[in-house]
Amino acid sequence: MKCKSLLLGLALAVAACGQAPQQKSGLPVYLDDAQPLEARVEDAFSRMTLDEKIAMVHAQSKFSSPGVPRLGIPEIWCTDGPHGIRAEVLWDEWDQAGWTNDSITAFPALSGLAATWDRDLSRLYGKSIGEEARYRNKTVLLGPGVNIYRFPLNGRNFEYMGEDPYLAGEMVVPYVEGVQSNGVAVCVKHYALNNSEVNRHTANTIVDDRTLYEIYLPAFKAAVQKGHAWSVMAAYNLYNNEHLCSNEVLLDKVLREEWGFDGVVISDWGGVHNTLQTARHGVDLEYGSWTDGLTMGKTNAYDSYFLAAAYKAAIEKGEIGTEELDARVKRLLRLIFRTAMDRTRPFGSQTSPEHYAAARKIGAESIVLLKNEGAVLPMAANPKRILVVGENAVKMMTVGGGSSSLKAKLEVSPLDGIKARYPEAEVVWERGYVGDVGGEYNGVSTGQDLRENRNAATLIADAVKAAVGADYVIFIGGLNKADRQDSEGLDRVQYGLPYGQDAVIEALAEATDKLVVVNISGNAVAMPWVEKVPAIVQNWYLGTQAGHSLADVLSGDVNPSGHLPYSIPVSYDKNPVQTERQYPGILRDGTIDGMPVLDMEYTEGIYVGYRWYDQHGGVLFPFGHGLSYTTFEFGEPRLNKTSMTENGSVTVTVPVKNTGSVKGAEVVQLYIADVESSIDRPAKELKGFAKVLLEPGQQAEVSFTIDKDALSYFDAGKHAWTAEKGTFQALVAASAQDIRGTVAFELK
């Protein structure tokens, strides 16, 4: 007893003398994880010098930035992102460092994850990739990407989660939670309006507030507010005549003030272009810059970063105070305490059987069966001869595409997946066309030699000849990760399939009625042969287990349940982005940050994806579409009540039954239509979805709760979400164009 009160007395005496608080543990507050996060941040901050603060806000190497070595506060290590952990690169260079222990699991591309419409799989994805990041001791995973699919030429659509803000917003949250459960921060990218790649450093997006808030921001907001993302990446492009990395509206007003984001904004690599504006309103952490006279890679280039020596000089000259720097440093400390200094975080794992299983499952569940006339699929149990045609059946797709390029420990090609599934069958491969023979990115090579001597006509003739006597002909083509395909930095230059693939498909369709076309891409493509091909499959870049996932679906071991996260228009001229003003933008006079500027105006407004096609037609396969090897019947939807108040809700329930003979999952979609509206609104908008797995004959009731949020539009005049009183419809659907039932209710 005496001892205790003596200790208490001592503690009080120390506190009274104004010394730094000493913990029972003997640790300073910032090192004591029993202390509240904010107390630790304040304590660490109070011990730092100006130089230490300046050091923290810019990079020290390609992918790392300093902690506070004197205080034992660790560095921040970032890694791409978003489909697997990038190979280690040299300190100052993009080239891989040549480690032999940095081969990883390549997970399916995020376009595929979105096509699962399965929140649990998104969590599994996040948890698994987060474990790989943790194992490699990374602080920040540069992903996920949630830029909206605005049109089908964007080279990076494969890294994003589709055209609908609700779908992307629902799918991103569990990914974020899964990653961060490992004590690894996500970095949600590319905030914001980075919807195309051409001119990505110089395009100034002009977009009205309603479109910004209804279409382009919700997925980011969900990641921040519901997922509690610890970091966000500011994009390259401009908005409101300011680069995103120093954008007052989108960073200060929206992200930090409106959404209450307390995490770190990291610049996209080389996205910062000035000191003062960035210091006042911009990113917290500058990466990838190259500045005056110092080309990329010079070892002392980091001192020349905009938030380095120039920032310190501006403070010393009194051009700017220290308030912003202090806030930045506190946000960075918060990030480090949440991650590298969280002693309770797990240890992670790399290329584990669990990760391979997760990749295979997510992959299989992402594959979308677009068409299946005459039930060509699933394949019969014992085919004797299978002809596989197409470069994408063998091409390794984990290498290429830009910063998401990977060094996968294993990549099972579609051809090998099919061979493994049908060991008894004769599986023959014919190339059909020559696409991209490259196979190297930043020193990571596929090791494949894809050179070819035959000309196009011979390749087609050889494929057609091989089709004779085949039980199945499976064409596996689409896009790839080469420049101007699905790849960073440039966009696609055509909507049609490249490399003359249409001619190959047409010729095969003549030769067999057992043709299956598998399109591998992260974007919609033209399908002029759609009527001639009985079975069409939309596949994605599925990573390590790509071939197994595909074989799982073709064989029927897995019943397809993927649904399109974007619309596939009949032809390019049907899509909402048509004019030069909309894309790639119009060069204006003058410069910003010393660079030319192209104004790119989103004149299509809120009419993106099915919101556009609902009004203008022209869709070949709609958003939300996906077939199964079984059939589902939707019963009559019913409401629990026919009206709701502003603070209330209504519930729609619909019975769904598996009426076929195999187990399968259906994605039940809920769209809301505002029937009486004083403003222009889309015909309908997705506001709910659920994936239900049913045994043959089994029925389930699926319920959706609709509240005011689901009925609201963004009133730019009031700068607020508003729901007008009156009648609304709840549409229960199997795709944006397959409405199975409608019920109406009133908002009172």
* Cβ at position 499, least distance to ligand BGC in Å: 26
Residue from 127, 189, 256, 331 touching ligand BGC (CB under 6 A): that is 189
Tell me how far apart the alpha carbons of residues 621 and 618 are, in angstroms, rounded to a whole number.
9
Tell me how far apart the alpha carbons of residues 201 and 680 are, in angstroms, rounded to a whole number.
33
Angle at 523 between CA 234 and CA 561, to 5 degrees: 105
Among candidates 515, 374, 369, which has minimal Cα distance to 432? Answer: 515
Q: What is the DSSP string of 488-540?
A: TTS--S-SS-STTHHHHHHHHHHH-S-EEEEEE-SS----TTTTT-SEEEEE-
Residue from 80, 164, 411, 674 touching ligand BGC (CB under 6 A): that is 80
Beta strands in 58-119 (DSSP E): 64-65, 76-80
Which residues in the 142-171 window bind ligand BGC by CB under 6 A? 142
Written as six digits, the tokens of 181 are 């459960």
At residue 740, φ and ψ (nearest 5 deg) are -100, -15
Closer by beta carbon to ligand BGC, 269 or else 623: 269
* Cβ at position 590, least distance to ligand BGC in Å: 26
* Cβ at position 527, least distance to ligand BGC in Å: 30
Closer by beta carbon to ligand BGC, 146 or else 474: 146
Among candidates 348, 389, 388, 396, which has minimal Cα distance to 544? Answer: 396
Closer by beta carbon to ligand BGC, 149 or else 269: 269
Q: What is the DSSP string of 704-747?
A: EEEEHHHH-EEETTTTEEE--SEEEEEEEEEETTEEEEEEEEEE
Query: For 234, how many CA atoms within 13 A lie in the half-sphere containing its CB?
Result: 34
Among candidates 65, 139, 77, 135, which has minimal Cα distance to 103? Answer: 135
In this structure, the chain runs to a length of 748
Closer by beta carbon to ligand BGC, 403 or else 549: 403
- Give me the residue whose beta carbon is nearest to ligand BGC: 403
Instruction: Name residue 645's beta-bridge partners.
Output: none
Q: Are 152 and 523 in contact (CB under 8 A)?
A: yes
Written as six digits, the tokens of 327 are 């806030």
* Cβ at position 189, least distance to ligand BGC in Å: 5
Closer by beta carbon to ligand BGC, 142 or else 526: 142
* Cβ at position 587, least distance to ligand BGC in Å: 23
Among candidates 698, 712, 623, which has minimal Cα distance to 662? Answer: 698
Tell me how far apart the alpha carbons of residues 733 and 741 are, in angstroms, rounded to a whole number.
7
Using the rule CB under 6 A, is 81 a contact of ligand BGC? yes
Tell me how far apart the alpha carbons of residues 532 and 510 are, in angstroms, rounded to a whole number.
8
Q: Are 418 and 386 in contact (CB under 8 A)?
A: yes
Residue from 269, 429, 495, 529 touching ligand BGC (CB under 6 A): that is 269
Count the site residues for ligand BGC by CB under 6 A. Answer: 7
The pairing of beta strand 185-186 with beta strand 140-142: parallel
Closer by beta carbon to ligand BGC, 199 or else 549: 199
Query: 530: exposed, middle or buried (C-beta count within 10 Å: 0-12, 13-18, 19+)?
Result: middle
Written as six digits, the tokens of 303 are 């001192």
Beta strands in 145-304 (DSSP E): 185-186, 188-191, 203-206, 231-234, 238-239, 242-243, 264-267
Tell me how far apart the alpha carbons of residues 111 and 167 are, in angstroms, rounded to a whole number.
11
Tell me how far apart the alpha carbons of residues 493 and 154 are, in angstroms, rounded to a whole number.
9
Which residues are catalytic, by number?
Answer: 268
Residue from 111, 147, 246, 403 touching ligand BGC (CB under 6 A): that is 403
Tell me how far apart the alpha carbons of residues 431 and 394 are, in angstroms, rounded to a whole number.
9
* Cβ at position 94, least distance to ligand BGC in Å: 8
Residue from 132, 163, 268, 436 touching ligand BGC (CB under 6 A): that is 268
- What crossing angle do the helices spanning 546-555 and 414-421 adopt, rounded to 10°? 50
Using the rule CB under 6 A, is 286 a contact of ligand BGC? no
Closer by beta carbon to ligand BGC, 81 or else 400: 81
Closer by beta carbon to ligand BGC, 142 or else 597: 142
- Give the 3-state secondary structure of residue 551: helix
Closer by beta carbon to ligand BGC, 142 or else 148: 142
Using the rule CB under 6 A, is 220 a contact of ligand BGC? no
* Cβ at position 484, least distance to ligand BGC in Å: 17
Closer by beta carbon to ligand BGC, 275 or else 403: 403
- Give the 3-state secondary structure of residue 189: strand
Closer by beta carbon to ligand BGC, 306 or else 623: 306
Phi-psi region of 281 (alpha: psi -120 to 50; beta: other; left: phi over 0): alpha
401-429 as b/e: b if 16+ CB within 10 A? bbbbbbbbbebbbbbbbbbebbeebebbb
How many other C-beta atoms can be found within 10 angstroms of the C-beta atom of residue 22?
A: 14
Query: For 442, how many CA atoms within 13 A lie in the half-sphere containing its CB?
Result: 22
The gap from C-alpha 243 to its chain's centroid, in whole angstroms, comes to: 22
Closer by beta carbon to ligand BGC, 407 or else 574: 407
* Cβ at position 690, least distance to ligand BGC in Å: 32
How far is the CA of 467 from the CAs of 82, 179, 323, 685, in angstroms? 39, 46, 71, 44
Closer by beta carbon to ligand BGC, 163 or else 268: 268
Per CB under 6 A, residues contacting ligand BGC are 80-81, 142, 189, 268-269, 403
